[in-house]
Amino acid sequence: MSTPTRAEAEDRVKTAASPVSVGLVGDELVYPRWFAGTWATVGELYKVETGPLGENALSAALPGTQAAMRKNNDAVGMEAGIFRARRRWAPTQRDSPEGGPGAQEDRGGLPAGAAAAAYAVGGPAPRLKPKTEGVWEVAGRWQMKAAGAVARADPEIPGGLRVSELFELRPLDQDKVSAAVRVVTIWREAKTDGSEQLQLDLRDIGEFDKTRGRLLQAVQVVYLLPEPSSPSDKNFGSVTTRFAYSPIRG
């Protein structure tokens, strides 16, 4: 492994000391101000992998999830693996991870992190029913409970943002947590010249906004874990999705 340069080391120190936003779920977090506005998002399911703990361990901990992961794998490169949605962040005076006033996602509908976690557990178009604040029923057999979220500047990507969300899983008929899901999303801003050629396939999501000269890009990895404290590299499996956000009027 190469030794980091002085500039890289200083950047890591600066990042470690930067503000951190915490909450129960992702839509409680404060994002950089450049998130503010309404966006059309198009996500593409990119990769589904079996983790180092293996399929047998996944099947034992989360019966039925192995089949869901196979369905996810079958959706890669297919229309079933494409997601389109409308999201909005509003300006806030609360400090963002990059310092200064930031933006918060509108708290309407299903939090994006919870939807991603449910997808990994229940397969494409999983049944997801809200129960109480931060608690959902997934695929008619699991209770998924938000266990914390954090956003901080990403030391590997200049101007990037890393959001990590954790969810506990247990069977509906049991009180003991049997597994966990960690959703890690890495964001970056991509400036544009406002050209309509750079807009996404918006379908019926909204009208492209030429006045906002930027796109947002993200890579999201969902890890199925044996317990909430497990590191991400000790997983049963993972699902990776790539996202692009286009500014729209609204």
> For 41-73, what is each residue's pLDDT tens digit?
889 999 999 999 998 998 898 888 888 888 888
In a domain, 148, yes or no: yes
Tally the domains of the chain.
Answer: 1
In a domain, 199, yes or no: yes
Q: What percent of the chain has pLDDT over 90?
A: 46
The pTM score is: 0.86
Q: Establish if 1 belongs to a structural domain.
A: no
Give residue 91's domain range.
20-248
In this structure, is residue 6 part of a structural domain? no
pLDDT tens sequence across 177-226: 989 999 999 999 876 654 444 445 656 677 888 888 788 899 999 999 99
Q: How far apart are CA 180 and CA 169, in angstroms?
A: 5
Residue 99: inside a domain: yes
CA separation for the pair 210, 214 (Å, rounded): 9
11 part of a folded domain: no
Residue 58 placed within a domain? yes
Residue at 187 is within a domain: yes
Burial 139-156 (b: 16+ CB within 10 A, else e): bebbbbbbbbbbbbbbbe
